[in-house]
Amino acid sequence: MFFASPKKYPARIVLTVLAALWLSLAPSGCRRAATPASTAELVTTFNALRDDPQRHLEIVWLGSPYAEGGQPGSWLQRRLEEQFNISLEVSFMPVFSYDKLLKLRLTGGQIPDVFWLRNAGEVRRAAAHGFITEVPYETLAHHAPAYLRLLERHAPDAWLLSLVDGRNFGIPTFTTTMARLPQTGVWNRTWLERVGVKKIPETLVEMEEALRRFRTGDPDRDGKQDTFGMCPWRPGSSSGSGTLDRSFEEIFGAFGVMQNGWMLHEGRVVWGATLPGARLALETLRRWYADGLIHPDYMTLPIGNLEVRSQLFKGKVGYIMGFNLGNYGVFEKKYPTSLQSLHQAIHPGEELAPGWFPIGPDGHRGVRTWDGSIGGVIVFGPQLVRAPEKLVRVLAMFDALARDPELFIELRVGRRGLHWDWNEDYGIRKRAPYDTRAVASAELMGEGITNQIDNNYGYFAPFSAPQEVVDRHTIPAARQFQETYMRPEWGLSDVLLMADTVPSAYKYLHRLVDLQATTFTEIIIGKRPIEAFDDFVVRWRAEGGDMLTREANELYLQKQAIRARVAAFLVAEKSPAPPAP
């Protein structure tokens, strides 16, 4: 039950006030709750306890927000309770309200035993207020060594998500294919053929020529010059889950720059958008925009995939890139809701094609990836220090799921033959009635969770299956697409996993990201000269960038020390690696 709002005030106002209170208490502020025990004391408490599978435990569980349509008593819940001799009190929150509703619940004193936090900033705030307990690396290595080995293999930098003042506050989660592989752009192949381009552009020069012909060559055959080359995502913001500006990322990548994160440059960690390559990318985009190669209103269009897709469907542009718009399913005609099928329903006979990441003048190419994690940390309420058997049981669950791929799959998508079957065209295919949205959502097998096992969206199993298990449950055609168009070496990953893992990000990052998005947009559309980039770099450094950069370099060294420390603890445990499936 959620915290009740006083009747004299609307719940919306109380929610807003409590959320503001949460945010006002900065992670490094003076109102930090007293830590109930030192790291050494917690190690003694947690590590001395051995899980007793015969002891029945009751656990309050609030899993990932992607199961917002879930209902208590699902098959997955019953399966988990039976397997691990527990009773769960579960609750579900709408994904877009999760952060605010969780803050309301925590500030109201109703802290779940186990719950999900999205990112490093949320973990720091929760630790600062005493809403979560430290879980030492030694404890994780002792009780969940198999899971830690998976984490080290798939997302070794994920420890930065749960790091607070040198201590660990939770279990970082990881993803595989979804985070590791870069997403391609989408070309209108029919338009390319109409304007005389015989192959999908591979270099930046070839891309510019194709976009120019889209502008001047009347690819829609209406006798008017009313088409443009490309439409990117509208510049985003640093709000919400830490989403940064991803517009034109393949163009910046052609100049060796990831404009929305931390990169290594000449042996130091730097913000990618301040590098000389970013200026070169802006010069290119400025020229393209002036020549009509970029949709003229891209900066004011609603953010997100729907608007980007609509520009393709409307016949305004012949190339787009957006989140999750460049995988195998997008181009498959036999899928009725694929981008290919939807486009052909509007433009019969037109074909879409996956794009290559354009190669720049110095041979660079690529777009943003997340090196094994898109966020997500499982944390524990401070009351578990007084009930350590619950924390140890949850760690035993994670370890069992890491060791047993079949159990993992059952707790993600249900049991084969009961909830799903294998289909050579689709892979995991839900059986009736679980193929309906209402039933699937209630049973935690719904739209938000999806049929995929390569993400960390699971309510009870909030991490990906190992890559080899994911590959085994991926149809051959999709794997071939990934090997051709989505090679890992074309991914540009943040060396600190995410921009907001830096401790002072809460203080400076939002403003700096907004400054970057505004400056870059104004340069591209010709509102400001290219020299404004140099002014941006000076201002970025002065308004908090230098502080963030210092912390970023310190954190980079710290993450290497953490990895070495965890590796040493695993060696000390002498636990075998999870068996290969």
More confident residue, 438 or 542: 542
What's the token pair of residue 511? 């403003």
Question: Using 50, 70 and 90 to split pLDDT, how confident is the model at 471?
Answer: very high
Beta-bridged to residue 502, according to DSSP, are none
- Bridge partners (DSSP) of residue 423 are 427
- Give 73's contacts (C-beta < 8 A, 6+ positions apart): none
Tens digit of pLDDT for each residue in 214-248? 999 999 999 999 999 999 976 444 333 345 778 99
- State yes or no: pLDDT of 447 exceeds 90: no
Burial call 192-213: b when 16+ CB within 10 Å, e when fewer = bebbebeebbebbebbbebbbb
The answer to whether 470 and 464 are in contact (CB under 8 A) is yes
Give per-residue pLDDT as tens, 474-487: 999 999 999 999 99
Which token pair is 120? 């490093």
**Per-residue model confidence (pLDDT) at position 193:** 98
Asked if the model's pLDDT at residue 17 lies above 70, the reply is no
pLDDT at 323: 77
Strand partners for 57: 86
Q: 3-state SS of 370-438?
A: CCCCCCCEEEECHHHHCCHHHHHHHHHHHHHHHHCHHHHHHHHHCCECCCEEEECCCEEEECCCCCCHH
* Secondary structure string (H, E, C) spanning 277-317: HHHHHHHHHHHHHHCCCECCCCCCCCCCHHHHHHHHHCCCE
Helix axes 505-524, 546-573, angle to 10 degrees: 120
- pLDDT number for residue 69: 85
Q: Please state, in angstroms and rounded to a whole number, the distance separating the CA atoms of residues 16 and 116.
A: 21
Local structure of 493: helix, strand or coil: strand
The identity of residue 151, as a single letter, is L
Structure tokens at 241: 């889950």
pLDDT band at residue 450 under the 50/70/90 scheme: low
Q: How far is CA 107 from CA 111, 125, 554, in A?
A: 8, 12, 32
Sole residue written with tokens 């899993």:
63
Cα 358 from chain centroid? 24
Whole-number Å distance between alpha carbons of 82 and 91: 19
List the beta bridge partners of residue 377: 117, 172
pLDDT at 141: 96
* Cα(465)–Cα(471) distance, integer angstroms: 10
Residue 311 has pLDDT above 60, yes or no: yes
Give the tens place of pLDDT for each residue, 179-208. 889 999 999 999 999 999 999 999 999 999
| Tokens found for residue 567 | 């590796």
> Is the predicted pLDDT of residue 13 greater than 90, yes or no?
no
Distance separating alpha carbons of residues 541 and 552, to the nearest angstrom:
13
DSSP 76-125: HHHHHHHHHTEEEEE----GGGHHHHHHHHHHTT---SEEEE-SHHHHHH
Confidence at 576, pLDDT banded by 50, 70, 90: low
Could you tell me the CA-to-CA distances from 49 to 25, 40, 147, 152, 347 in Å, in that order? 34, 14, 19, 25, 64
> For residues 255 and 278, is the Cβ–Cβ distance under 8 A?
yes
What is the bridge-based pairing of β-strands 114-117 and 57-62? parallel
- pLDDT at position 3 over 50: no
Query: Of 391 and 572, which is predicted with more confidence?
Result: 391
- 495-516 average pLDDT score: 94
Q: Please say whether the dihedral angle defined by the alpha carbons of residues 440, 372, 504 and 280, taken in this order, is positive or negative.
A: negative
23-58 tens-digit pLDDT: 444 443 333 344 457 899 999 989 999 999 999 999
List the structure tokens of 83: 């397997």
Beta-ladder partners of 88:
59
The whole-number pLDDT of residue 579 equals 53
pLDDT at position 445 is: 84
Q: Distance between CA atoms of 169 and 269, rounded to whole angstroms?
A: 25
User: How high is the pLDDT of residue 31?
Assistant: 33
What is the Cβ-side half-sphere exposure of residue 68, based on CA atoms within 13 angstroms? 12
Residue pair 399/147 in contact (Cβ under 8 Å)? The answer is: yes
**pLDDT of res. 324:** 78
Q: Tens digits of per-residue pLDDT, 145-158?
A: 999 999 999 999 99
What percent of the chain is modeled with pLDDT above 90?
78
The answer to whether residue 549 scores a pLDDT higher than 80 is yes
Q: What is the mean pLDDT of the chain?
A: 89
Helix 405-413 crosses helix 388-403 at what angle (to 10 degrees)?
A: 110
In 424-572, DSSP assigns E strands to: 427-430, 491-493
Task: Read off the pLDDT band of 68 (50, 70, 90).
Answer: confident
**Of 155, 113, 144, which is closest to residue 131 (Cα–Cα)?**
113
Rounded CA separation 554/166 (Å):
12
d(CA 130, CA 344): 54
User: Given a cut of 70, is residue 327 above it in pLDDT?
Assistant: yes
Whether cis (ω within 30° of 0) applies to the bond prior to 388 is no
What secondary structure does DSSP assign to 205-224, as a single string? HHHHHHHHHHHHS-TT-SSS
Q: Which helix (H) or strand (E) holds 559?
A: helix 546-573
